[in-house]
Structure formats: structure tokens, C-alpha cells
Amino acid sequence: MSKASDTAAAKAPELSIAPSPADYASLSPSDLIARIHSLESQLAALRSSSAARPASPSPSPRPSKKRTPKPFNPSLHSTRPIALKFSYIGQHYNGYEHANGTVTPKPTIEEVLWLALRKARLISPVLGEGADQGVDVVWGEEVRRARWRSAEEGAAGEGKMRLEVNWDGCGYSKAGRTDRGVSAFGQVIGVRVRSKRKVAPVRLEKREGEEVVAGSRKRNGDGEGGNGGTEELSTQSNDDPTVSSSPALAPSDPPPPPPDAPHGQHQALDIFDPIADELPYISILNAILPPSIRILAWCPNPPPDFDARFSCQERQYKYFFTNPAFLPTPGPIGMRRADGQPALVREGWLDFEAMRLAAKKLMGLHDYRNFCKLDASKQMKDCVRRINWADVEEWKGAGKEVVRGAALSIDGTDQGTKEVVGVSGPKVYCFSVHGSAFLWHQVRCMVAILFLVGHGLEQPGIVDELLNIDKNPGKPVYEMADDGPLVLWDCVYDKPDQDDSSKLNWIYAGDAATIPSLTTKNDGKFGLGGLADTLWTQWRKTKLEETVTAGLLDLALRQGDGSALERGGFREPASSQRSAKVFDGGDNARIVGKYTPVMKKARTESLEAQNAKYLAGRGARRADRTPASGDD
């Protein structure tokens, strides 16, 4: 057999062309059966040939190359001082301020912000030996627990997870140091960050015998191996004194040459818009920070002497609460105080007008030592502060069933089963207070006293008593209000009579001035991942949880035969006296037994006595451990 025949035989069998329908009509039944067998055998051979043919190998996926981060040299980038305004939900954090060497169960806002700035390479502080070099913005729970255990046990590996927050060279300042659990909607920091503005080489005046080259100075006659070589020139920013070159982000850098400098020392003119051409700081940081921390605005031109803490003219706080403050005590029992005396409002409700009267007494210049927690290590001579504004205001709220029937209404009267104008459910109120500065836990102590007044346990005059430090030099020991509802609402830097040109120019997310600097499709405020989109997601989740639980509460209050509304929550009819309930801003009231008036509680030592005791004890020991000036 020829080679061509072998090749033809090796090929897969082909189906013969079927005869026309007319041909099939002329075939006999035996011929038709034979034709069918022939076609079936050809089809089987074709299938076996296809199965024996090896499948073409699928292309193997290319191994993904692990991207190696490019080395970053901060000295090649200019920097500029800016101010950032941001918000955070305090329940997720262990307060604002981070203290190196301490271990907290939750992260602090300051450490998260510092890590985010480092990850974005907006700051490049020098890290100490053994400090964590990573840029994980939020340390996971397991890592934090391991860090906690290693610190407790003194394990050798503790240094591998040591978080050292270092702001050296960053020109960092902060407006407020909120406590654990406290939120902020207007916190402000000042910081020197990387700028997009290019660093241009300084062109020096040409000297005799020298050839000036951009970025270098070369002496004639020097070549390879010569003693002179090439001398690099320093770099500076162009003509903006707020922008400087950044070796390790130094807080102060040489300014650009003056306009009357000799020819040749000027840098080439660089037209740079400090907002439109700048890095989109808001979008960069919001893409890195957790959703509970949001950058709201940035200021491109803070004054040269700007300090977020000392430049702040006024801090504004709000403390939110509901009315009723806790589930009202139903039935006739709820209209009497715990000592059996008639009550002006049902237990659980707050006397709004009495609280307002007490709040107004807090305004002015006073020594608030009885409205704060003293720290003797500070050695303060007094606790004088000025409160510019204090009031209790209504905040819009929702809800229905808890305020309708006589058994739960504020005055014991039936509000009817239909919708009543002005009755929309438990309302939300807030205590608003404005002041230049506040003492430690001052707002929470003031709110605690206002709650006692609102429940009728104290009279508004209690504020006057506590402000009289001559009569009451020692603070009564009372519980301060819960931290969760407290918000640092805003930090004000502009004075009322200040010229507009010298005020802080806040650039907010989504402003027209920010659009040219963006690299994303959205405008930074709306759209996927924008500021408003992120906040809406958080609000909707909590709003639906509120709606679902409010519906269940309404349903439960309507169910049953109604007899529970007359028993006041007791299995048997209660006696005329019972344990008092005190509200401190949390989710439930505290049972305190027999209530002790504030002015009859135990007192702390006076400020002067605490200072003297500290100096004689811990302060003296600390002074002994501190080396004198000039000692090694």
C-alpha cells in the first residue's frame, strides 16, 4: 500500500453523501436497512476518532507577579501644612488619643488616622527600632488580643507588635481629646503632608571657572575619579511658602528666594493651583480609613502659627437623649416618686423646662471643679472656664404607641387611639453647650446633674450650689453620664469680627474646587464610595434596626388584657416606697435603692488639697526619678 493510501486510511471516516429523497423512495426495505447500518457504522467510527484525538491543552494561567512596592523617598516630595476636619463614631474606639507603651482593647482614633496617613505616604515619620512597620490601618481583634497577652506576660515577642505613633516632623496638632466612646462630627487636626507640587532645583549664579548644570554644579577640569566630582544642589518648592521640600517631612524648611534675589537664584515659574492641582486628600484618606471615620473637609491655607488646639476659639458639644429617658413606669405607681410623694411627671419622663432652667445657670465664667474629674498631676490652680451657650433643645424624633394611653403618657391622661397632633412618639433632645475649653469629663458631669433635675430628684438650684466653690470646695461623689450619646459637634476657629480673608477656608467633599484633582468617576461626596454614600449606608442600617424594634415595642404594648398597665411592673401591688431609678444616659435606668441628694453625698478633697497631696507623694517620687537639667 502506498504512503498516500496509508495517510488516507488514517484519516477519520467521512459520511457519504446521502442519496436524494427520490433515490430512497426507489429502494427496497432491505436496501434501506442496509443503508441505515452503513450510516450508523460511519457515525460510530467518526465518534471514536474524535474521542481518540487528544484535546488541545488549555493555556495555563500566567503566574501572577507579586507587586513589590516601589521604594519611597519622602525627600523627593514637597510638603505643605494643612488642616483636616473629620468625624468618627466613638463607640468603635478607645478614645481619641494614643499613648505609646499602653495596650487598649480597641484602637484609638489617633492611631488609625496616623496609620492611614502613613499608608497613603502623606507623612513619613521615622519609626523606632522594634516598632511595627506595617500599614494595616486597623489592627484586627486577634492581633490586638495577642498584643495584650504578650504585654501582660512580658513575652519576648511583644516588640514585634508594638505600635509606636510618632508625629515628629509632621507639624501635628489636635483640637480635642475625646474620651472613650465619645463621637465627633467636627474634630480638627493640623498636619504637614506630602504635596503634589513638584520640587524644582535651585539655579545658582554661575561662578568663574564653573559650569552650572541643572541639579548639579560641575567644576571645569574635574572628571571621573577627580576630587571635585559632581555636587548636587538642594531642592525647594517654587513660590509658595506653605510648600517645602521634605527630608523626613521637616516642620520648617527654607523659604524660596526673595523677589529681589540676584539673577540666577530664582527658580523657574511653576503655575500651581494649591487646590485644583493638589492631591485629593479627602478621597485618598476616605478610601483607606474605616467607614466609622470620615474626612469631611480640608483647609489648604491655615495661618503660619496655626495650632489645632490653641487656635480653636470655641468647642461645641451635643449630648443626645430621649424623652422618656427610659421605659415609663405604668399605672398609678408611675405618677409617684420612689419615696411615695406625688410626681410632676411620670417616672421615666424628663421635665424639659426644669432642665432648660438648670442648663442656663451653667453659662458664664465659673470655676467648674464640681463639674469635672480632677487630675492632680496637672497641678491646675483653678478650674475656671467660660461657657458661652448652654441649652436643652428638641431634636426631631419618631415613635407612637409609647406616648398614647393614660398609663404611659407624660401627665397620666388618655391621648386617644388615633393620631394626635404633636404626639409622634418618644422625642429626642440634646443638651448643647459651647465653650472655649472644657475640663476632663466636664460635659458628662453637667449632663448627669441635668438628668437628676429632669427626673425631679434635684431642683435647678443644685447648679448654683455646685458652682459655689467657697461653700462647696469638694466635689460630691456622683456618677457622670454615659459616654455614648456625647458628640464633639464642631470646633470653631474664626472670630465673629474676623476678616473673611483671614478665616479658615474649608474645602468640603464634593465642592467644585476639588473636582479637577479627583481621579475617580464620582465627585467624592455622592456616588459609589462617596462620603454621603458611606454615611447613608450606616444611617439606613441603624434606622431600619430602630424601625423594626420600634414596631415590635408598639406591638407588645398593645397586646394582652391591659392589666399589666395598672400593676406598675410588679407582680403584686407595690408599696408606697420602692427603689429609685436614676438615668445616666445609657439604655436603661440604674436602680439605686433610696436616693441620696447630691449635696448629702460624700465629698472629694478640695483642688488645693489634692494638689498638695500629689506633690508630697507621687509627684515627689517622680521628681526624684527625673534627672536634673544637664545630667546624663
Pairwise CA distance, residues 409 & 324, whole Å? 10
Q: What is the pLDDT of residues 211-253, one digit of tens each?
A: 444 333 343 334 433 433 333 334 444 444 445 544 434 333 4
All 3 cell numbers of residue 221? 577640569
Pairwise CA distance, residues 144 & 456, whole Å? 45
Identity of the amino acid at 510 = G
HSE-CB at 382 with a 13 A cutoff on CA atoms is 9
| pLDDT for 458 beyond 70 | yes
The answer to whether the beta carbons of residues 374 and 441 sit under 8 Å apart is no
**Common-topology check for domains 74-195+278-296 and 314-488+560-626:** yes
Query: 134: which DSSP letter?
Result: -
- 347 φ, ψ (degrees, to nearest 5): -60, 125
Please report how the helices 442-454 and 352-360 are oriented relative to each other, as an axis angle in degrees rounded to 10.
Answer: 140
SS3 call for 515: helix
| pLDDT for 424 beyond 90 | no
The top-scoring range by mean pLDDT among 97-111, 212-226, 483-497, 572-586 is 483-497
Count Cβ atoms below 10 Å from residue 364 Cβ, excluding itself.
12
User: What is the pLDDT averaged over residues 300-310?
Assistant: 94
Cα separation of the two ends of the chain = 105
Quick one: how far is CA 601 from the chain centroid? 38
623 pLDDT tier (thresholds 50, 70, 90): low
Which helix or strand (DSSP H or E) is residue 487 part of? strand 486-492
What is the structure's pLDDT at 120? 94
The answer to whether the beta carbons of residues 580 and 594 sit under 8 Å apart is yes
Strands 364-367 and 384-395 come out as: antiparallel
What is the structure's pLDDT at 358? 98
Count Cβ atoms below 10 Å from residue 357 Cβ, excluding itself.
17
416 pLDDT tier (thresholds 50, 70, 90): low
What is the structure's pLDDT at 6? 52
The H-assigned helical ranges of 216-340 are 281-288
User: What is the pLDDT averaged over residues 119-132?
Assistant: 86
| pLDDT for 497 beyond 70 | yes
Quick one: how far is CA 237 from the chain centroid? 33
What CATH number labels 74-195+278-296?
3.30.70.580
Burial of 511 from C-beta contacts in 10 A (0-12 / 13-18 / 19+): middle
What is the structure's pLDDT at 561? 87
Could you tell me which CATH class the domain 314-488+560-626 is placed in? alpha beta
What is the structure's pLDDT at 407? 52
Q: What is the pLDDT of residues 18-57, one digit of tens each?
A: 445 546 777 788 888 888 888 888 888 888 776 666 656 6
Pairwise CA distance, residues 535 & 198, whole Å? 35
What is the structure's pLDDT at 409? 65
Pairwise CA distance, residues 568 & 184, whole Å? 39
All 3 cell numbers of residue 393? 433643645
What is the structure's pLDDT at 571? 76
The H-assigned helical ranges of 154-249 are none
Under the phi-then-psi rule, with left for phi > 0, alpha for psi from -120 to 50, and beta for the rest, what region is 264?
left
What is the structure's pLDDT at 593? 86
* For the chain, percent of residues with pLDDT exceeding 90: 45
HSE-CB at 467 with a 13 A cutoff on CA atoms is 20
Q: Which of 132-136, 385-389, 400-404 has the lowest mean pLDDT?
A: 400-404
Q: Which of 360, 282, 330 is nearest to 116 (CA)?
A: 282
288 pLDDT tier (thresholds 50, 70, 90): very high
For the chain, the structural domain boundaries read 74-195+278-296, 200-236, 314-488+560-626
What is the structure's pLDDT at 55? 59
* CB crowding 382-393: b at 16 or more within 10 Å, else e: ebebebeebebe
The H-assigned helical ranges of 74-153 are 109-119, 141-153
* CA dihedral for 332, 338, 344, 348, sign (positive or negative): negative
80 or 268, greater pLDDT: 80
What is the structure's pLDDT at 254? 41
Q: What is the pLDDT of residues 306-322, one digit of tens each?
A: 999 999 999 999 999 99
Pairwise CA distance, residues 140 & 123, whole Å? 23
* CB crowding 332-352: b at 16 or more within 10 Å, else e: ebbbbbbeeeebebbbbbbbb
Pairwise CA distance, residues 147 & 342, whole Å? 55
Q: What is the pLDDT of residues 335-349, one digit of tens each?
A: 888 888 888 889 999
Q: Which of 254, 131, 185 is nearest to 488 (CA)?
A: 185
Strands 486-492 and 314-323 come out as: antiparallel
Burial of 26 from C-beta contacts in 10 A (0-12 / 13-18 / 19+): exposed
